[in-house]
Chain A
Amino acid sequence: MWMCMNCGHVYEPEEGDPVSGIAPGTPFEDIPDDWFCPLCGAKKSDFEFVED
């Protein structure tokens, strides 16, 4: 799972981030680089892949 290292938010592909225009079903890799964590505003590059 992709997790924000600034706040711990986990990006759920099946939910996407509709408020930011990321449709449900969007894989993390396909999110634009200028997307921000919806909880804390960290950059996409602040997310890391973490084993479940």
Chain B
Amino acid sequence: MATAVKSELPPLEDLDDPDFDVFAVERTMRGDYDDPYPVFEEYRKQGAVHKLELNEVFAKHHDVEMHGLNHYTVFGYDACNRVLMDGETFTNYEVFKHSLGKSFGRTVTVMDGEEHQRFRKVLQKAFLPNVVARWGDSLVQPVVDRLMSRFIEKGEADLADDYTHHFPFQIIYSMLLLDPDESARFHKLAVAQLLSQGGYPQGPEATEKLGVFFRAMLEQRRQNPGDDLVSHLATVEVDGQYLDDDVLIAFLRQLVNAGGDTTYRATGVLLAKLLEDPNLYARVCADRSLVPLAIEEALRWDGPVTLTYRYCKRDTEIDGKVIPAGAVVGVCMGSANRDPTKFEDPNRFDIFRKRTVRHLAFAGGPHICIGQHLARVEMTRALEGVLDNLRNVRLDPAKPWPKIISHFMRSPDHIFVRFDV
């Protein structure tokens, strides 16, 4: 896809304070909690449902958009799955209007019922497995090759900072036919949007500036459509009408943020776990049919997002405990994916485990991650890029081993490796 469309767009405006370090602030907000899984396990052992704001257990900083609401958190797999699958009782708008609705706007994550179904189907259609599979060669591989070319002759790299941290964002920029010279600014503003959760004014500023840019982009692609994603979304008609601009702009804001942020974290965990075990790495390298198993196990064992939310519309009993109408329900997917009633020896990273129960790394139910199939394609290509190109790759013994951190958005900040050149 993505033949070139002549771009005459105005440049994306930088933050008013161009030196504001978005990534440092984001790291601070995310926290450096080492391993939340023992805490999840302790709660899960005590019951599937707790009256609890989970973020307050770990975080040094309040989530200013969510703090103080009537929070409950569910920990068991069955409880989490029930909440996610029951979109009539457990809805999105009333909870995400406080957070993603402010950062991204009228995104499908903030919709429920028929409105959600209508927009969801159109947007999902652009990210179905048979569609994204074609992007492996056209969009993903060139980015993987370009990033790898920057360090392949050096014999050493930080696979987080040099590789995983950038590749999904750059794939999205390619998908949108954005100017590569502006990729650093896009990355910064994409991430900055969620700083609203910490009360930083750069959050709404980034939301506004990306909105202005995407509105101009939609207009331009309608006038001069190509075969890229935005041209498709800008010109697709439902019941004889274009999709609402505010919905498309919200979708693009979310795409440039969540589409990059989650995949880079998941890929970092995948590479870190394989490199920690050279025998396992060698087996995957020799037998590529193991790649999908390694990816699914990394997603289960330590998925990039441990928690999502729903709003409880009516008093509902789960596991003997009543969640009252009006409560915010935290769904701890990180806990569900380590539930021993579903996954044998759940704390063990085992790519060969029996897969009789699906993991909840991408959530589930009507709002299951739209980008899950693209994420798998990206993770596959990123791992294969390492397997194919970095001979005798191993964790650098002179540097710290990868440390996966945060209670909420988990990833290693560094994966220092050496390899033969």
- A8 in complex: contacting residue of B127, B358, B365, CB < 8 Å: B127
Complex CA distance for A50 and B132, rounded to whole angstroms: 14
- Tell me if B's interface is mostly helix, strand, loop or mixed: helix
A39 touches B364 (CB 8 A): yes
Query: How many angstroms between the C-alpha atoms of A3 and B133 in the bound complex?
Result: 14
Q: Give the contacting residue for B372; candidates A6, A8, A51; CB below 8 A.
A: A8
Q: Which of B26-34, B42-50, B116-124, B180-188 contacts A (4 or more CB under 8 A)?
A: B116-124
Per-residue contact bits, chain B 371-403, to A (CB 8 Å; 1 contact, 0 not): 011000000000000000000000000000000
Residues of B within 8 A of A38 (CB): 358
A43 and B128 alpha carbons, distance in the complex (Å):
17
Asked if A5 contacts B124 (CB within 8 A), the reply is yes
Could you give, for residues 350-369 of chain B, a 1 whenever the CB lies within 8 Å of some chain A CB and a 0 otherwise? 00000011100000111010
CB contacts (< 8 Å) of A22 on chain B: these are: none
Complexed CA–CA distance, A19 and B78 (Å): 12
User: B129-171 toward A: CB 8 Å interface, digit per residue (1/0)?
Assistant: 1100000000000000000000000000000000000000000
**B-side contacts of A10, CB under 8 Å:** 129
Give the residues in chain B near A23, CB-CB below 8 Å: none
Q: Is the CB of B366 within 8 A of A6?
A: yes
**Chain A residues near B368 (CB, 8 Å)?**
7, 39-40
Q: Are B130 and A3 in contact (CB under 8 A)?
A: yes
* Interface contact A41-B372, CB-CB below 8 Å: no
B2 at the interface (CB under 8 A from A): no
- Which residue of the partner chain B has the closest CB to A19? B357
Nearest CB on B from A48, distance (A): 10
Contact residues in B for A18 (Cβ distance below 8 Å): 356
Q: How far is the CA of A41 from the CA of B87 in the complex (A)?
A: 9
Contact B358 A7 (CB under 8 A): no
Q: Is B125 at the interface (CB under 8 A from chain A)?
A: yes
CB pair B121–A40 under 8 Å, yes or no, is no
Task: Establish whether residues A40 and B125, one from each chain, have CB atoms under 8 Å apart when the complex forms.
Answer: no
Partner of B129, one of A3, A40, A41: A3
Chain A residue with Cβ nearest B362: A39
B124/A6 in contact, CB under 8 A = yes
Shortest B121–chain A CB gap in Å is 6
Contacts of B85 in A (CB 8 A): 41
**Extra A-B contacts (12), CB below 8 Å, given A40-B364, A40-B368, A41-B85:** A3-B128, A5-B121, A5-B124, A6-B120, A8-B129, A10-B129, A18-B356, A38-B358, A39-B358, A40-B365, A40-B366, A42-B366
